Amino acid sequence: MSQQPYVFQTVASRPPPRPVGGLLPWIQRNLLDGWTNVLITLLVLTLLALAVPPMVQWGLLNAVFGPDNAACRAAAAATNTGACWGVVAEKYRLIFFGRYPYEQQWRPMVACALMIGAIAASCYRPFWRGWLIGLWALVLGAFFVLMMGGRFGLVPVETSRWGGFPLTVMLSTVSLLIAFPLAILVALGRQSKMAGIRTICVLYVELIRGVPLISVLFMASFMLPLFMPQGSTIDVLVRVLIGMTLFTAAYLAEVVRGGLQALPKGQIEAAQSLGLGYWQTTFKVVLPQALRLVVPATMNTFIGAFKDTSLVTIVSLYDLTGALQLALGDADWRKFFFEGQLFVAAIYFVFCYAMSRYSLWIERHLNTGTRRQ
């Protein structure tokens, strides 16, 4: 018996679902969803209402922006106190460049700009070619020549006068550049099957990670001169650099080790079956994958290294934090230390926040192969 062929019957289309978008439904969902939420919203709103208008009044409306000491004092003494951003306008050169000679301050400015340019160029993925190393060598050379002087007709300026922002940038960049390859070697050594090398690497990492950075800096500045043979001296800056590099390398080594451990063993076995030697496997198969896995932790360490340069204040090198202390030893402006500190905190915040955003971006960018969606 033949059946009737099934004829597709269309069903009357239903009306489209009501949009849940729009401001009011969003507010209802996010702020007023249940009694606890209403309570929290009210609490936070009261907090903001109490805190924000006075801050805006103090920071913007009643504030003094020009380098006028008398106006600043008046604003501070008035009943509606205002911030004195004039302290920044007055002392910004001392904060940014420390004790560098006044007329020569264009040199650290250019040197900083070059360094930041090189960092920005290194962030851009299409630039990750061999010539980047050449660029870095050039920029570092130019930086030191500009800051030290003595060549090309530039007035020599000794390292004890370097300070402020160039010092921060130089310390963090140079120590990271040296610490990164060192960390990779130490992490590889820690994974090694050779007990001797493994012990050395373990001892180094555990010893350095167990002590605070201050003690490493003290050790570098007090004890390194004793380590040198009789009759030679090392510059104070080089000592601090060595201390910071060793410290950062220990932390980076642990991060890289995490990446090495997360790599499936099959990768190494496959490389060996292809006949690749140890160093070929490491540089062509293991490291690219391992480093990609630990990008967030690596960037975290980079940000940490940038912030840790503030500790050199304690060994009397006047980086950005230290230069602020120096700038505000002036009796007239000491009252407005808070505004100066907020300004320096804002500088650090801008750079660290930019680095953490970049970290998120590069992580997404590099993991296109492994992302699930």
Partner 1 sequence: MKLSKLSTLAAAAAALVTLTATPAHAGKTIDAIKARGQVICGVNPSLPGFAAADSQGNWTGFDVDICKAVSATVLSDATKVKWTPLNASQRFAALQAGEIDVLSRNTTWTLTRDASLGLNFTGVTYYDGQGFMVTKKSKITSAKQLKGATVCVQSGTTTEKNLADYSKAMKLNMKPVVFETQEATNKAYFTGRCQVYTTDASGLASVRNKEATNPADHLILPDLISKEPLGPSVRRGDDEWFAIVKWVVFALIEAEEYGITQANVDQMKSSSTDPVVQRILGTSEDTGKLLGLDKEWAYRAIKAVGNYGEMFERNLGPNSTLKLPRGANNLWSKGGLIYAPPVR
Partner 2 sequence: MKPARPAPPKKRDWSWRSQALRSVLYQVVALALVFSAGYYLLGNTLDNMRLRGIKSGFDFITQPAGFGIGESIIPFDSAESYGKAFAVGLSNTLRVAVVGIVLATLLGTLIGIGRLSRNVLLRSLCGAYVEFFRNVPLLLQLFIWYFILTETLPTIEEALRPLPGVFFSKNGLQFPIPVWTDSHVFTLAGLALGLLGVWWWGRQSRQHFEVTGRSRPVWLPGLLLLIGLGLLGWLAGGSPVALDIPEKSELNVVGGGSVTPEYMTVLVGLTIYTAAYIAEIVRGGIQAVPFGQHEASAALGLSRGKEVRLVLLPQALRVIIPPVTSQFLNLTKNSSLAVAVGYPDLVSISTTSLNQTGRAVECIAIIMACYLTLSLLTSWFMNAYNRRSLLKER
CA distance 123 to 359: 10
Cα–Cα distance between 91 and 88 in angstroms, integer?
A: 5
Identify what 144 binds: partner 2, partner 1, none; CB under 5 to 8 Å per kind. Answer: none
Q: Rank residues 23 and 331 by Cβ distance to partner 1 and give the closer one.
A: 331
The answer to whether 104 contacts partner 2 (rule: CB under 8 A) is: no
Question: Taking CB under 8 A as the rule, does residue 326 contact partner 2?
Answer: no
Which member of 2, 79, 232, 373 binds partner 1 (CB under 8 A)? 232
Indicate which of partner 2, partner 1, none lies near residue 8 (CB less than 5 to 8 Å, by partner kind).
Answer: none
The half-sphere exposure of 364 on its side-chain side, counting CA atoms within 13 A, is 6
Mind giving me the DSSP string for 335-359? Answer: GGHHHHHHHHHHHHHHHHHHHHHHH
Contact mark string toward partner 2, 294..313, x via CB under 8 A: ---------x---xx-xx-x
Q: What is the residue-wise DSSP string for 59-108? A: IIIS-B-SS-HHHHHHHHHSSS---BTHHHHHHHHHHHHTTS-GGGGHHH
Under a CB-based contact definition with an 8 Å cutoff, are residues 163 and 319 in contact?
A: yes
Contact yes or no for 267/289 (Cβ under 8 A) = yes
- Does 326 help bind partner 1 (rule: CB under 8 A)? yes
In the shown chain, the binding pattern of residues 18 to 57 toward partner 1, with x for contact by CB under 8 A and - for none, equals ----------------------------------------
Cα separation, 142 vs 130, in Å, equals: 19
Q: Which among partner 2, partner 1, none contacts residue 364 (Cβ within 5 to 8 A by kind)? A: none
The binding site for partner 2 (CB under 8 A) comprises 29-31, 33, 36-37, 40-41, 44-45, 193-197, 200, 207, 209-215, 218-219, 222-223, 225-230, 303, 307-308, 310-311, 313-314, 321, 325, 337-338, 341-342, 344-345, 348-349, 352-353, 356
